[in-house]
Structure 1
Amino acid sequence: MTDPDLINPIRQAQQAQERAATEKRRGLGATLTLIGTLGWLIVLPPVAGLFVGRWLDRANDGRFWTLSLLFTGVFLGCWAAWRRIDEGHHDD
C-alpha cells in the first residue's frame, strides 16, 4: 500500500535532519536569517548616527557631529553584529 517513490524522499529528509542535529549545523533558513539580521545590525546604527549628526550640525552650524556619530554608529553596529554572531555560536 505504500509507494516507495513517496517514502524514500521522506526518509532522506528525516535522515538529513537527524544528521544536521547531530552535527549541529544551521539550516538554510537560519543562515539566511542570520545574514539578514547582521545586515540590519551593521547598517542601521551608522545611518541613524548620520541623520542625527546632520540634524545636530544644522542646529549648531558645524561638521563635528556628523562624523562623530557616523563613526559611533559604525562601531556600535559592528559590536552588535559581533555579539549576535557570538550569541548564535553559543546556541549551537
Structure 2
Amino acid sequence: MSEPNDKDPLVRGVRRREARQRRWLREGEGSVARRLAQIGVLGWIIVVPALLGIFAGRWLDKVFHSGLFWTAPLLMLGLALGCWSAWKWMNAP
C-alpha cells in the first residue's frame, strides 16, 4: 500500500480528529467558566464588526447626506465579516 497523501481531505480530517482526541486526553474536559468565556468571545467576534459597520455607515451617511444608503450595506458587511470570523475561530485546529 502507498503512504496516505496529506492533500487528501479524509486524511487531514482523521489527523485533526486524532490531535483533538490527544489534546482532550491530556487536558481533560474544560470548566463551565471556560465554556461561558468562549461563548462570550464568540458573541463579541460577531457583534464588534457589525457595530463598526453601523458607526462607519452612519458617519458616511452624515457626510454625504444619504439617509441609510451606507449604513445598511456596511451593517451587512460587518455581520458577514463577524460570522466568517466566528466560523474560522470555531473551526481552528
- Smaller-chain TM-score range? 0.5 to 0.7
Sequence identity (%): 41
Aligned pair partner of 2:25 in 16, 22, 25: 22
Structure 2 residue ranges without an equivalent (≥5): 1-22
The one-letter amino acid paired with 1:74 is L
Tell me, what secondary structure is at the counterpart of 1:64?
coil
Partner of 2:65: 61
Equivalent residue pairs, number = 69
Q: Distance in 2 between matches of 1:73 and 1:29?
A: 28
Pick the structure with greater CA Rg. 1
Structure 1 residue ranges without an equivalent (≥5): 1-19
What TM-score results when the alignment is normalised by the length of structure 1?
A: 0.66
Root mean square deviation, CA, Å: 2.0
Q: Give the helix-richer structure, 1 or 2.
A: 1
List aligned pairs for 1:31-42, cutoff 5 A: 31-42=35-46
Aligned pair partner of 1:43 in 38, 41, 47: 47
What TM-score results when the alignment is normalised by the length of structure 2?
A: 0.65
